[in-house]
Amino acid sequence: MLLSEIGEFGFIKRLSEKFQDIVVQSVLGIGDDCAIIPKDENFDYVVTTDMLVENIHFFSSEISPFDLGYKTLAVNLSDVASMGAMSLFSFLSIAIPPSIEVEYLDQLLEGYKHISEKYNVQLLGGDTTHSERDILLSVTVIGIIEKNKARLRSMAQKDDIICVTGFLGDSGGGLEVILEDLPLSEDTEYLLKCHHCPEPAVNEGIWLANQEGVNAMMDISDGIASDLKHILKASNKSAVIELNKLPLSPQLQAVANKYKLNIIELATSGGEDYKLLLTVDKNKYSEIAEMFKKQFKSDLFAIGKIVDKGDDLIIWQKDGIIINGLKDGYNHFSET
């Protein structure tokens, strides 16, 4: 059997099942954005790790080394934020091909240092090794959260409002600018910046985790078409998403219209937006959304609702009409 036949999540399921009998009950292991490890009677550690691989996650000819360093840590801080936790420490490992100049690495580390200082995250170690051809960057981040405050994928409840904390599809639009070699303009440069230098919702995640009525939460790395299914599967629920409620930036709309891009596909499966995807008690949504806007000067966008069907199905609707045939989000190893 080929890996492409089971895909990324099939492989993760096999891995999880193989090791689940040696994970102690007080630890949350594979299955959420971060592992949760008890610290003491008041706090837990959260731990995440992620890799960026050249020509899979980035093209070194397109992204500046500074932005690459920034993004390398940003995607991990996003995972910690999605649990509602505060990041404390990071570990950086780099596989370096012989063609890379020291000055390139200096700029990469400047970007990594910049976001480390921005969110007060200490780099404590890592590893360096040789690569024959491509750059590989692997980061582990350790954070901390008050006990029982972590927001898990399994916490979605029937009739919860499904929300996102920002525009969808901008990073996917930036990738399209690269792949289609679209002309540079104010709009396409905005999309490229979203793709190359995403901003993790660090403060938003911590704030949301402290609001009664916020239930499940995760970050958007593979697109809501894929990421929402993780929440639904863990919570044994399904969802209805209103496509006409997806928040789309004016820049993405302008570029999509001009170059005939599939804006719905970008918004649902483009990936790497690193906004937060969460479910909120329907009776608390209006209050939380109002406070969120006051706190962060941005909207908490309602895009659908959780329904009590245990088959992790997403029903896509537009103006009350069911839409079929939408592409799934990004999945490593899949045949498509």
Whether 111 and 205 map to the same domain: the answer is no
Residue among 85, 90, 72, 97 at smallest CA distance from 46: 85
Asked whether residue 105 is assigned to any structural domain, the reply reads yes
Q: Which of 146, 170, 187 is the last residue of a domain?
A: 146
pLDDT for residue 312: 81
CB atoms within 10 A of CB 93: 16
pLDDT for residue 334: 54
Whether 101 and 188 map to the same domain: the answer is no
Read off the CATH number of the domain in which 106 is found. Answer: 3.30.1330.10
Residue 58, judged by CB atoms within 10 A of its CB (0-12, 13-18, 19+), counts as buried
How many domains does the chain contain in total? Answer: 2
Whether 130 and 197 map to the same domain: the answer is no
The tens digit of pLDDT for each residue in 39-96 reads 999 999 999 999 999 999 999 999 999 999 999 999 999 999 999 999 999 999 999 9
Whether 115 and 158 map to the same domain: the answer is no
d(CA 279, CA 214): 6
Whether 37 and 137 map to the same domain: the answer is yes
CA atoms within 13 A of residue 14's CA, in its CB half-sphere: 7
User: Which tokens belong to 127?
Assistant: 């590893």
Say if CB 305 and CB 240 are below 8 A apart: yes
Asked whether residue 336 is assigned to any structural domain, the reply reads no
SS (H, E, C) the chain: CCHHHHHHHHHHHHHHHHHHHHCCCCCECECECCEEEECCCCEEEEEEEEEEEECCCECCCCCCHHHHHHHHHHHHHHHHHHCCCEEEEEEEEEEECCCCCHHHHHHHHHHHHHHHHHCCCEEEEEEEEECCCCCEEEEEEEEEEECCCCCCHHHCCCCCEEEECCCCCHHHHHHHHHHCCCCCCHHHHHHHHHHHCCCCCHHHHHHHHCCCCEEEEEECCCCHHHHHHHHHHHHCCEEEEEHHHCCCCHHHHHHHHHHCCCHHHHHHHCCCCCCEEEEECCCCHHHHHHHHHHHHCCCCEEEEEEECCCCCCEEEEECCEECCCCCCCCCCCCCC
Whether 278 and 188 map to the same domain: the answer is yes
Asked whether residue 22 is assigned to any structural domain, the reply reads no
Whether 180 and 196 map to the same domain: the answer is yes
Whether 192 and 308 map to the same domain: the answer is yes
pLDDT for residue 4: 76
Q: Which of 146, 178, 200 is the last residue of a domain?
A: 146
Q: Structural domain of residue 113, as residue ranges?
A: 31-146
Whether 119 and 217 map to the same domain: the answer is no
Whether 174 and 289 map to the same domain: the answer is yes
Asked whether residue 18 is assigned to any structural domain, the reply reads no
Asked whether residue 23 is assigned to any structural domain, the reply reads no
Say if CB 16 and CB 30 are below 8 A apart: yes
Q: Which of 146, 177, 205 is the last residue of a domain?
A: 146
Asked whether residue 219 is assigned to any structural domain, the reply reads yes
Asked whether residue 293 is assigned to any structural domain, the reply reads yes
The tens digit of pLDDT for each residue in 229-267 reads 999 999 999 999 999 999 999 999 999 999 999 999 999
CA-angle at 232, arms to 230 and 237, nearest 5°: 165
Give the residues of the chain that fall short of pLDDT 50: 333, 335-336
Asked whether residue 165 is assigned to any structural domain, the reply reads yes
pLDDT for residue 283: 98
Read off the CATH number of the domain in which 311 is found. Answer: 3.90.650.10
Q: What phi, psi does 83 have (nearest 5°)?
A: -90, -10
Whether 179 and 299 map to the same domain: the answer is yes
Whether 129 and 162 map to the same domain: the answer is no
